[in-house]
């Protein structure tokens, strides 16, 4: 591919920011989607010509399908989805609208973006799709992450169509992202729960954002030439 284009959904997160850097350094043109924290992405835009910023809030479900077609140009060789909306609602306290909102933002909207881009990947006979998923799925998630983990569980569903698309060199995988040293977890680390949480990890430490970005870069670039239709975990042994 002479010009490689990647869309990163949820690009303003700590892991997303590191992932952007890896693809820019490898010569990709990056389309960085965000809802908040634009300032950090603007710094990158000042240093790299091949970065385009796309601001959109998937919580706005009015005409969602038409808005997605308008906002995203569907000409991406690779898509990495790092959207992770958390409403901190427990199972007992969640209302139906809360659950629908989480599933829409974390699973349905990203899948619409992916589906609309598939014809481009099929035409080019090349595509990489990576969904960032949650460590908590096998364990039922935390008390206040019911909707988040349910939506990520939905996200992990890989349609049978993708097994057929493998012949077009379109590979899709889910990465369950382990406990990572991001801003949220740094605050948690200072609490008693945070200290106990780290001790549950066999490696006895949190991952760094750079480590997670390296796995995402592998799965979303030419380095991944064979793995597809898999859900894999990078969790330090948990």
Residue 14 lies in a domain: yes
In a domain, 145, yes or no: yes
pLDDT of residue 143: 87
Do 107 and 147 form a contact (C-beta atoms < 8 A)? no
- E strand or H helix at 234: strand 230-234
> Distances in Å between the alpha carbon of 57 and those of 89, 109, 115?
20, 10, 19
Residue 81 lies in a domain: yes
8-state DSSP, 207? B
Structural domain that includes position 103: 5-180+208-234
What pLDDT sits at residue 123?
96
**Residue 217 domain-assigned?**
yes
Residue 189 lies in a domain: no
Q: What is the pLDDT of residue 192?
A: 44
Query: Which segments in the chain show pLDDT lower than 70?
Result: 1-2, 183-195
The total domain count for the chain is 1
Q: Do the Cβ atoms of 207 and 189 come closer than 8 Å?
A: no
Q: What is the pLDDT of residue 63?
A: 92
**pTM for the model:** 0.93
Q: Is 92 a domain residue?
A: yes
Residue 3's SS3 state is coil
Tell me, yes or no, whether 196 lies in a domain: no
Domain assignment present for 199: no
Q: What single string gives the DSSP state of each residue in 76-135?
A: -SEEEE---------TTT--HHHHHHHHIIIIIHHHHHHHHHHHHHHHHT-EEEEEEEET
Q: How many CA atoms lie within 13 A of 99 on its CB side?
A: 11
Domain CATH code at residue 164: 3.40.50.720
């Amino acid at each position: 591919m002479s010009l490689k284009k990647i869309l990163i959904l949820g690009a303003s997160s700590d892991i997303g920011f590191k992932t952007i850097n890896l693809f820019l350094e490898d010569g990709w043109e990056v389309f960085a989607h965000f809802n908040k924290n634009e300032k950090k992405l603007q710094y990158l835009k000042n240093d790299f010509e091949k970065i385009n910023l796309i601001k959109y809030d998937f919580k706005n479900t009015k005409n969602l399908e038409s808005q997605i077609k308008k906002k995203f140009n569907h000409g991406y060789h690779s898509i990495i989805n790092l959207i992770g909306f958390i409403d901190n609602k427990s199972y007992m306290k969640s209302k139906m609208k809360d659950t629908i909102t989480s599933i829409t933002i974390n699973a349905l909207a990203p899948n619409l973006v992916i589906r609309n881009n598939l014809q481009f990947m099929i035409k080019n006979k090349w595509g990489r799709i990576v969904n960032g998923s949650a460590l908590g799925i096998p364990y039922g998630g935390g008390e206040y992450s019911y909707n988040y983990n349910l939506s990520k569980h939905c996200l992990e569903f890989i349609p049978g169509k993708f097994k057929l698309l493998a012949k077009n060199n379109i590979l899709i995988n889910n990465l369950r992202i382990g406990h990572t040293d991001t801003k949220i977890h740094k605050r948690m680390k200072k609490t008693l729960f945070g200290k106990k949480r780290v001790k549950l990890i066999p490696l006895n430490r949190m991952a760094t954002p750079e480590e997670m970005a390296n796995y995402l870069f592998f799965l979303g670039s030419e380095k991944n030439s064979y793995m597809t239709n898999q859900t894999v975990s990078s969790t330090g042994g948990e």
